[in-house]
Each structure stands twice: as structure tokens, then as C-alpha cells.
Amino acid sequence: MAQEKVDLLKTLSSDKWKAIGTHRRAGLLVPLFSVYSKNSVGIGDLDDLKLLVDLCEKTGASILQLLPMNEIGVTFCPYDAISSFALEPSYISLNAAPLACDEEVKTKIDRIRKFFPAGSGHVDYAIREEKRQVLWDIFIMRSGASPEFKKFTETNKYWLDDLALYKVIKNHNSGKPWYDWREGYAHRDQNALSRFEEEHRKDIAFQKWIQWVLYKQFKAAKEYAVSKHVLIKGDLPILISRDSADVWAHPEYFKLDFAAGAPPDMYCSNGQRWGMPTYDWERIAADKYEYFKEKLRYAGNFYDILRIDHVVGLFRIWSIPYNEPSENGGLKGSFDPPDENVWSAHGRRILSAMTDNTKMLLSAEDLGMIPKACPAVLKEFGIPGNDVERWVKDWSVSHDFLAPKEYRAVSVAMLSTHDTTNWAAWWENEAGTVDGALFIRKCRERGIDFERVKGYLFDPKRSGRGRLRWQDTVKTKEIYIGILGKREEELKDFLDMYENTYGEKEKLWAQFKLKGPVREKCDARIICSALNITLSSRAIFSIELLIDYLYLADMFKGDPYQYRINVPGTIARTNWSLTIPLTLEELLKHGVVRDIKELVEASGRANREGLK
């Protein structure tokens, strides 16, 4: 498959590429909550970012990618944040906080560390309130506001005043969402808000102070990364929680009668309903995109590269009536704007407003159903998309996995994302399977008796986790069609499922050039082969989940399915809380660091300035 060359210095992001360079790079994707040091208190913190930078330096990686660092709500989901600006207070390093050396403060920190040990498998987010109490004590012990703090509040007035007021009112309403507050607060009656501010001046100042501490600690980590020639890649969720400071402060920018989501596909049979409101882009544009400019300005303090989550939503977004029953997922939605002919211009306008108002290189999460307009516009802007190995295929003709040289040049190659299983779990549980709920629903729609055909089509011993594994005997589409008992022209979607999933393991095994029969259980040799595909690809960046790299050392025991960051469409304690089984100090001394470094060096992606 021929691939067109792209001169990144002739794209609309040429100034960004000129600043960071156009050579191929390797990177590590690390959720901060998943790591911890011997000094961490309950959760990885901003001071631990420096150890992650050291890890990048030792492995030859020159990009450290984080999940969104925005302040999270009750679901602890970083993509359903309560602010596009505010940082998550859990990530404050108490050891680096003001007055941390005070004996009384040290005693309190040690007590919390004892009851909230980091690295217990999953983060207990009750740590947030424990940290808040210590920070309140420190805040009260400090006398007066420093000139530096005052400057921070003035510089960030656009969002900080609303965020602090929103949080204090919410606390005084037992955590209820803003739309359930009494009228004067919910709809921002200025007299009511002024009276509340006067009565709770210290609480409001405390919320601003927390954000200042977070800002200082993150800036210090960023400066350390610069000294080690490591770029930090952030993540900008395209959407924001309905119950957020942003929506409360600027309801005019949102369509509150709708909820965003995704249409049904072969991996999610009912589609998805995320719940966040969609944007009123006309109103945002009428205000010259000030809201997005301010987001980018603040993010630019910390990041060199910024991932735009669900970038296709800038072209059109799956919009579900808010009153639609939640059990319908994304089934009853429609695209907004509805006219496909305007999608290209729509996305281009928004991306222009963003690229024209930041020094960060924008990167795009462009997975799922991609409108035809999206790839051409991203290419024009020089914005890398995502190439996830398990989905980098010729979907329509050969149905084979693409060779490394056939990956998109302007892309980020990876084995997994935060929303998928890790690669080992995919290999053992999902490769060569179809989504069970989707297949059953399609059978019902087509009048096919699933109970009659399932034994002929699927192997019950190798099926599970909602996935159906093909029987080895279904070797051809003719056999498959015969079992279904319909004419081929009636079965296009069934054939797509079969042709793009049957024999996946065998196809990858051949690409890996490993000897012997296909092994069902993932091991270091197999994961190494998979990593070599993405690392050797022509993609400008290869950024892997730290978890996938750690499978080189067989650190995780039992079914790898349990070691996933998030299961989309679910709310569970195990989402957004997974931790690795050793401290960062131990990891930096572990032999797996050498293994990663060798892979990165062999791929030609080693950090040109930072590798020692």
C-alpha cells in the first residue's frame, strides 16, 4: 500500500513542528494515578512526574504522555471533569507543599500515608479529602497572600473565580449538581452570588490557593522535563461534565438538551452515551472562541503537545436527546451538524482557532467511525492521529494487518489505549473474536436463530468476557454463509465481522515471524514482537502504555484482563485507579528499563539529546 510523504514543515502546524523537531520519537503513556514513589501519599503526585521524566531518560523515550490532569468529579473519570482548567487536587505532593517541614504537618502527612498506602492495586480516592484537610491546615497556618499568589489569581481570573465559587457553593449544597441548587445560585443571580462570596471569602480563597499550589508543582515538573529534553504531552477532553464549573459559568456555550455519545459499532453494540452536553459552536464562535483560547493558554503552561480527545467531535458529534432512557445507550442519537457537507468546514474552523492560539503541537484521538472529511483536514494541519496496532488493517480488501511501513507517517503508533484492554489481554481474550451482544442483536434483526448457529460458529472454551471466539473449522466465508443460512447479499455486515476478525492471531503471528504454533498465552517474546511493530513503524511518534511495556518483565499475574485502566460505559471502583506493582524507584532499577531502552534504540527513536 503506497504511502504519500508529508512535509510537516509545510503544514499549518509548521511552527510547532519546527519547535520540537520532525524526527521519530518514542514515548511512555502513564496515568499519574497508576504510579507512585516511596514518598507518595495514597496516589502518584506531581513530584513523581520528575521520576517519570527520569524513566523516559533511561529508556530513551522523549515524550511523557499523561491522561487529563483536570479536576475530576464523583465518577473519578478524567474525561468527565468538573473543569477544563483546574488541576486535580489529589495530585498535590504534600511533601513539596508549603510548610511540609513543619513538625505538626509532617506528623499529619505520615498518618495519612500509613492509612492510605500507595500501590495497593487500585487507588482509594478517599485520599482526596484527607489531603484537603492537611492543605486546609497549611493554608490557615500561612499568614497573608503572597504577591506571587495574587498574580496567579489575576492572570487566571477568566476561570479561577468561577471555579472557586462553584466548588464552595457545591460543598455547601452537600455536593449536589449546580442545576439542583436554589434558583439564585443555579442561574447566577449576581446579588445572591455576591452575598455568598462575602460570607465564604476564606473558603473561596482556599480553593484558589490549592490551584496555585498545583500550578507551581506542575511547572516545576515541566522545567525538570525541559532540562532532560523530554516533552510532556497532555490531554484535552473535548467535552466537560454537565455538572462542572464551565457549564455553570457559561451555559450559553452548551446544548443542555442533549448528551454526547457514540453510535453503535462492532465493539459496542448499543453505542455509547457519555452524558456530557454538546457544544453550541455558533455561540462559541460569536465570542471569538475565547473559551477555547483560555483553555489552551492555561494548558500551555504545562505541555509541549496536546492530545485532542475525540477530535471527530469537532467535525460532527453523536448527539442523544437528554431525556432518552439511559438503557438505550447511543442507539437513538444523530449527528450534529446533521449535514455531512458542512463537516469539513466546521472542523477546519475550530482547529484553525485552536492552532492559531497555542504554541503546543496538537495531536488527535481519531478512533472509531471517522468522517471522510477528518483525515484530509488533520493532514492539512499536520496533526498526528492515532494508529492502534489491533485496528491498523486493510479493512475492505485483504483484511490483513498492515506492515509497519504502511502506518500513517503523521500518526502516533501504539498497542493499546486507556479505553482498551492492555495488549496482553487483547491477545488472550479478544483477538479472533466478535462482540457477543452485537452478534446476537444482528441475528435477531436478521431473523437468524443464534442458539442454532452458535455451536457451529464459536468455540465456547475460548469465548468469554462478552467475546465470541471463532471455531477453527469456519475456515472460509462460504462455510460461514452456509451456517447462517442466508444469501451472501443479505449478510454484508456479518461478513465484515467475520473477515476482519477470523484468524487475527494467525495473521499477527505470521507478521511477528515467531516459530512454532500460535501460543494462546501472551509472554515476553510475543509482547516484544508486538512492540517492534509499532516502534519500527513509519509513524512519527510511538507512544506506549507503560503497562504494555511492563509485560516484557511478566510483572502482572493472572488474567491480564483485570489490569485495565477503564471499561468504557461503566462506573466502577476499578476504573481510573489501577496501579503498577512496584514503586518508581524500584522500576528505575529494574531490568525492564534496559529491555525498553534496547527496543527504543533499535527502532531509531532514542532521545537524541537526553539518552546517556
Q: Average pLDDT for residues 457-468, to the nearest whole number?
A: 96
**pLDDT score of 143 more than 80:** no
pLDDT of residue 1: 46
pLDDT of residue 145: 75
Q: How many CB atoms lie within 10 A of CB 295?
A: 24
**Cα(356)–Cα(491) distance, integer angstroms:** 47
pLDDT of residue 570: 84
Q: How many CB atoms lie within 10 A of CB 477?
A: 15
CA dist 28 → 80, 412, 501, 541 (Å): 23, 12, 28, 10
Q: Average pLDDT for residues 13-23, to the nearest whole number?
A: 97
pLDDT tens-place string over residues 539-588: 999 999 999 999 999 899 999 999 999 998 788 999 999 999 999 999 99
**Looking at per-residue confidence, does 444 or 270 come out higher?**
444
Q: Average pLDDT for residues 519-530, to the nearest whole number?
A: 97
Q: Confidence band (pLDDT; 50, 70, 90) for 264?
A: confident
pLDDT of residue 612: 42
Residue type, 557: K
Q: Average pLDDT for residues 72-82, to the nearest whole number?
A: 93
Q: Average pLDDT for residues 424-429, to the nearest whole number?
A: 97
Cβ burial of 4 (10 Å; 0-12, 13-18, 19+) is exposed
pLDDT of residue 3: 54
Q: Confidence band (pLDDT; 50, 70, 90) for 284?
A: very high
Cβ burial of 476 (10 Å; 0-12, 13-18, 19+) is exposed
Would you kindly state where each structural domain of the chain is located, as residue ranges? 250-384, 433-502
Q: Confidence band (pLDDT; 50, 70, 90) for 266?
A: low
pLDDT of residue 35: 98
pLDDT of residue 2: 47
pTM for this entry: 0.96
**pLDDT score of 524 more than 70:** yes
Share of the chain above pLDDT 70, in %: 98
**pLDDT score of 383 more than 90:** yes
